[in-house]
Amino acid sequence: MPRLEQFPDNPYNAFCWIVGEPDIGEGCWIGAFTVIDGSGGLSIGKGCDISSGAQIITHSSARRTVTARAYPHVDRAPTSIGDHVFVGTNAVILMGATIGSHSVVAAGAVVTEGASFPPHSMIAGVPARRVSDVRWRDE
């Protein structure tokens, strides 16, 4: 049986796969079995929590694949996540998306390519949409 490759070392979690060179802010926590793809440009603000199984993807080979490689490129687009954002378990954020600061991406949500959400957004669903404001009693 072939030996599985180890995950590349990173300062967040031994079971997190980080691709490229994402800009990850101070005080972030990243759970196990996550994919953090910075190959298309990724900025994650300070104090974010990225739950286990979440995927942040900044590239897509879909167009290349369905054109039988007639379109030879892998598309890439920068993705931005503001400060103090919580990304729930198994959420997916696709390339070109923007998540404003102090927002929550619910577990299992799929944020589609190019989607943009303002600060203090509760984001949920497939495809993800803004369902309410995020405000705490002491704010």
- We report the CATH number of the domain holding residue 121 as 2.160.10.10
Taking the CB of residue 85, how many other CB atoms lie within 10 A of it?
Answer: 27
Does residue 40 fall inside a structural domain?
yes
State which amino acid sits at residue 35. Answer: V
Does residue 136 fall inside a structural domain?
no
Does residue 134 fall inside a structural domain?
no
Alpha-carbon distances, residue 66 vs 7, 33, 47, 103, 111 (angstroms): 30, 28, 39, 34, 22
**What does the longest C-alpha to C-alpha distance in the chain come to?**
55
Does residue 9 fall inside a structural domain?
no
What is the per-residue pLDDT for 34? 96
Does residue 2 fall inside a structural domain?
no
| Distance of alpha carbon 41 from the chain centroid | 11
Does residue 86 fall inside a structural domain?
yes
Cross-strand pairs, 18: 36
Does residue 12 fall inside a structural domain?
no
Does residue 74 fall inside a structural domain?
yes
Number of domains in the chain: 1
Mean pLDDT of 74-85: 97
What is the per-residue pLDDT for 14? 86
What is the per-residue pLDDT for 21? 94
Q: Residue 61: which domain range?
A: 22-129
Q: Provide the pLDDT confidence category of residue 8 given band limits of 50, 70 and 90.
A: confident
